[in-house]
Amino acid sequence: MNYLEAYNLEIGLLINFGSKSLEYKRLTNKKHADYSKSEKSIHPKNPGSDT
C-alpha cells in the first residue's frame, strides 16, 4: 500500500473494525530494501509465498 512506501515501512497491517469480527491482513512492501531478506527468513522453503 502507499503508506508503506511513503513511510519506508517493510511490514504493515490492514485492519477492518467494521465487520462482526475483526478482519486483518498482513502487508509487505516489496520495494523495501530488506524485503527479499525477510521473505527468505519467514518462508525459507517457499520464498515469496504469503501463507
> Which secondary-structure segment (H or E) carries 38?
helix 35-42
Query: Where in the chain are the domains?
Result: 2-42
Q: How many CA atoms lie within 13 A of 18 on its CB side?
A: 2
Tens of pLDDT, residues 29-49:
888 887 666 555 555 555 555
Q: What is the pTM of this model?
A: 0.52
3-class SS of residue 21: coil
| Reported confidence tier of residue 51, pLDDT bands at 50, 70, 90 | very low
Alpha-carbon dihedral 17, 3, 8, 28, rounded to 10 degrees: 50
